[in-house]
Structure 1
Amino acid sequence: MAELSNKTGGFKRQTITEAVAEALREEILSGQQKEGAQLRQDAIASRFNVSRIPVREALRQLEAEGLVTFYAHKGAVVSALSRAEIRELFDIRRLLEGDLLARAIPKMPQELLQDAENILNRYDTALENGEVALWGELNAEFHHILYVAADRPKTLAIVQNLHNNIDRYLRIQLHSVGARNKARDEHWDLLNQCKAGRIESATQLLDNHIKAGGDNLIDFLDAQEAK
């Protein structure tokens, strides 16, 4: 029987719905639950030893994040993204994240920049150790911390959902040593531009980073399918 984490956040313990959603989200992002896989509520409830109500609520939460799709007479399945949808997600990222970074750089405190550097050090260690489960998480944390000073919580929430939707694909791509090294180098370059307060060069670097990431991901997926 699978166990649910029992994290605390703020002043309240994680609810059963949140715990189920977190567990299923990680299974989807890690590739344990494949695209098109059916997510049966009764089986999930039995596996986590909970009722079907929090399972149904968790699946609806994942549906709102774009990770799950509901079909009539079939129920919930793991969402699949077409090449066009992946391209669209990266295009939206370029629009939103560039604006967030431009707003954030003039207001970034030194403590935040140090936190970003610490995340990159952890990211480098995770890449070297092959800790796949941490790659997407730390990548999203790094981008998030660069944008948080923009004080645009609604936009940040949208960006987080975008990262969740492409995270599973990026993890697969990062199995390539070349892709890992490129991502690492570009992240450090981006942080250095932010430290120097160079808004124009930082936003251009970010735009190139996201665009190249999307192009490389689609090329990688096409190559995998051709094998």
Structure 2
Amino acid sequence: MTTLTATVTPRDRVARLAAAHITALQRGYLADQSHAVAALARLRRGAGREAGQLPDLWALIDTGPLHETPEGARPLSESELIRAEDALHVALTLYALHQQSRRLGMYQADRPGRSRGLGAAVRRLMQPGEIDEGVHKRLVRAGTAPDLAVLAQRLRDIIVLLRRKDIELDHALLAGQLYTWQWPGGADTVRREWGRSFHAWHDKPHGSAPASAGPAAGSATTSTTDTDKDAS
């Protein structure tokens, strides 16, 4: 009998590695562990900037697993590795900005009935049943970014709005999308995903209590008590 092994795509690997990094950082940050607090402070400086502008940040992002070949996968080519590393840089630096001074985990995994994709997150910035054109335009502008560098800057603006409202995001899913974005035709694919997420968003019916921010898989729920630690 032949056993079929599911193919692990490069995008899957990027998303999984991002999830592992962010889950560990979030757990440490919420537990007020100094190494995690310092790491997020350093990563925040890279939000909206290209990886090559702050090469010292790569010491904080272990890309070693991308050079390994897990079961069901194949070795990544040089061009795939470059795109994967750039996607991880953008996703992790945006997460660091999103988590700043927040006592709840801003990384939450997307799952059925609890959408945490970018489109859904933007939709949650709006009142139920209403479309805020100003906010919607930010998502549209991100969707029409000509390259990853501009996209990172426009996503940074959205992340700032999400942080103000304590709206969570699946940054690992975003990392995979950022990887896909960089390939021919990839931007169209990602735009469709954001659009579906925006229109399919739902947590609870209008009129019910707001959904609580549960912890991401593997994250701690310990509250931070000192927001001054994020002054840097």
The TM-score range, normalised by the shorter chain, is 0.3 to 0.5
* TM-score normalized with structure 1 length: 0.35
Higher relative contact order (CA 8 A, sep 6+): 2
Between Structure 1 and Structure 2, which shows a larger proportion of helix residues?
Answer: 1
Structure number with the higher strand fraction is 1
Instruction: State the TM-score, normalized to the length of structure 2.
Output: 0.34
